[in-house]
Amino acid sequence: MGNSQKGKDTSNKKGGIKNTFCLLSTVCCLLILAGCATTSDIDNLRNNVTGLQVESINQKKEIAQIKTELSNISKDITTLKEYSLIAMKESQSSILTQTSDLSKDLQTLKGRFDENKYFMDKTIKDLLSERELQQAKIAGLENELKELKSKISSQSAEKKESSTVQEGHKDAEAAQPEAKDQKAADTTDPQKLYDDAQIDFKEKRYAEARQKFEKFSKDFPKHALAPNSYFWLGESYYADKKYEDAILAYEAFLKKYPNHDKTKGAMLKQAFAFVEMGDKKTGKVLLEKVMEKYPNSREADLAEKKIAELLSKNNTGKSSTKKKKK
């Protein structure tokens, strides 16, 4: 807009000068022809023509200068256009490169995500399968445990019957101390009876301790120490290395007092009894139950150590077997 306006002003100035010069020339000619013009008029006219010529020259210089400025402005505009186009192209190229890089990164992340998802799903499926397998094994072991307990109970009943017959044939001298012990146990003071049983246990008179613990549990079933008497009955069998009877005694305690403080101890010693009998498989299952049910207890720590001991012995046995085969 500015350049076009300057061009219009320049053309208007040129046209005005030409028209004025032509008018003066015409007037001069007319005056000469008419013979009316004086010398002063002619001088004035010449001066005016000279002034117009000087003004024309100055205007030409201004026009040339304006043209030069217009040319420079045009060059600047062209340069700016070229610079803008280069900058736009570089910006577009940079944006395209960044977009391409982001697209590649996105594809890489998607591939990693799909890979991780596949492995996670596979791991979860494997864990579920392993869990089902372990549950099936535990169910089978529990069934075996029930069958074993029923066998042990029947064997225990047979042993008790045979021991009753043998006791009937003992001589009188053996019967007299037993009668004295029986009289000592036949006390009406529950605390004294319990304390006597504990003393017998500590002094390793396990048979006498069992008699007193059994009497206590029968005569005082609602006493606060009744659960303890059931537990120590199992302990007396275990200490006397009568592991089958110990298992049955611990089982009676666990069924009668499942929430007692000594429950975890009874479960642990029952597992130990199975191990001592040679049934390490059942013992290991019970040890794992102790760890699962009482994870932060002393009994859980002992169960974990026992399992480690069993595994160590098992590995040692396998290695020795392999050496013999070689």
Q: Are 173 and 185 in contact (CB under 8 A)?
A: no
Burial (Cβ within 10 Å: 0-12, 13-18, ≥19) of residue 56 = middle
Do residue 149 and residue 31 come from a single domain?
no
Statement to judge: residues 281 and 153 lie in one domain: yes
Q: Is the domain of 13 the same as that of 87?
A: yes
More confident residue, 23 or 183: 23
Statement to judge: residues 258 and 186 lie in one domain: yes
- CA dist., res. 130 & res. 140, Å (int): 15
184 and 297 both lie in a single domain: yes
Domain boundary among 95, 118, 152: 95
Q: Is the domain of 79 the same as that of 181?
A: no
Distance between CA atoms of residues 309 and 317, nearest Å:
12
Domain with 152 in it: what CATH number? 1.25.40.10
313 located within any domain: yes
Q: What percent of the chain has pLDDT over 70?
A: 66
Give pLDDT, residue 114: 74
Kindly state whether residue 103 falls inside one of the protein's structural domains. no
Same domain (yes/no): 155, 86: no
Looking at residue 251, the DSSP 8-state letter turns out to be H
Q: Can you give the pTM of this predicted structure? A: 0.45
Regarding whether 166 and 47 lie in a shared domain, the answer is no
In whole angstroms, what is the distance from residue 243 CA to residue 252 CA?
Answer: 14
Within a domain: 107:
no
* pLDDT of the residue at 134: 67
Residues 259 and 139 in one domain: yes
Instruction: Look at the block and give the residue holding tokens 């400025």.
Output: 69
Q: Which helix (H) or strand (E) segment is 167 a member of?
A: helix 39-168
| Confidence (pLDDT) at 173 | 44
Exposure string of 226-235, with b = 16+ CB inside 10 Å and e = fewer, is: bbbbbbbbbb
Residue 162 inside a domain? The answer is yes
pLDDT at 247 over 90: yes
> pLDDT at residue 177 above 70?
no
* 159 vs 174: CA distance, rounded Å: 20
Q: How many domains does the chain have?
A: 2
Task: Give the per-residue pLDDT at 11.
Answer: 55
Domain stop point among 95, 122, 155 = 95
Q: Both 79 and 165 in a single domain?
A: no
Kindly report which listed range (95-99, 122-126, 166-170, 309-313) carries the lowest average pLDDT score.
166-170
Is 101 a member of any domain? no
The per-residue DSSP string of 174-240 comes to: HHHHHHHHHHHH--S-HHHHHHHHHHHHHTT-HHHHHHHHHHHHHH-TTSTTHHHHHHHHHHHHHHT
Is residue 37 located within the same domain as residue 177? Answer: no
Which of the residue ranges 39-43, 162-166, 269-273 would you say has the lowest mean pLDDT?
A: 162-166
In this structure, of 62-66, 87-91, 107-111, 123-127, the range with the lowest mean pLDDT score is: 123-127
Considering 42, 76, 95, which residue would you say is the last residue of a domain?
A: 95
Whether 275 maps to a domain, the answer reads yes
Tell me the residue range of the domain where 29 lies: 2-95
pLDDT at position 172 is 40
Task: Name the average pLDDT for the chain.
Answer: 78
For residue 219, tell me if it sits in a domain.
yes
Please, which residues have CB within 8 angstroms of residue 171's CB and are 6 or more apart in sequence? Answer: none
Residue 106 maps to a domain: no
For 127-162, how does the pLDDT look when each residue is reduced to its tens digit (9 = 90+)? 665 666 666 667 656 666 766 766 676 665 556 555
Q: Is the pLDDT reported for residue 316 higher than 90?
A: no
- The reply to whether 32 and 180 lie within a common domain is no
